[in-house]
Structure 1
Amino acid sequence: MIALYILIPVAIALVGFAIWLFFWAVDSGQYDDLDGPAHSILFDDEDPKHQAAVKQIQQQDADQDSQKPPHA
């Protein structure tokens, strides 16, 4: 019975830490691009079409970033 007085607060602390860690990961952008790394292994890095597609995506990202209003 004494062990429950120790294990229950430890379990609650671990759950709280796991929730905090999940929200930290979401806020820091860990889940922003789930498909990119999975698809990148399917293509040869030396392929000119692949390099052109990567440059196009980077240009689109840069264009989207430049269209965002500055933070106040």
Structure 2
Amino acid sequence: MAKPKKRKLHKNVLVAYAKLARAGEALCRQAAASEEAIRSGGGFVYFMRGSGKEMPPASSRFLIDHRPRRG
């Protein structure tokens, strides 16, 4: 049986993930009505749980939408 091809991630997604992993933080999102939140983040703003630092909306949205499921 053929192996499935590994999907390459965009550099911005890798950078956002590395930033979270290095800081030992969790990624959070909050609903927002700002223009940038609607355009880039699907109606959400993204931030690190512990420090509250803002995260890039497109990369963060990808990370949350494609996170591995438990169970």
Q: TM-score over 0.5 for the alignment?
A: no
The higher relative CO (CA closer than 8 Å, separation ≥ 6) is in: 2
Give the structure with higher Rg (CA).
1
- Structure number with higher strand proportion: 2
| TM-score scaled by length of structure 2 | 0.29
Question: As a proportion of its length, which structure holds more helix?
Answer: 1
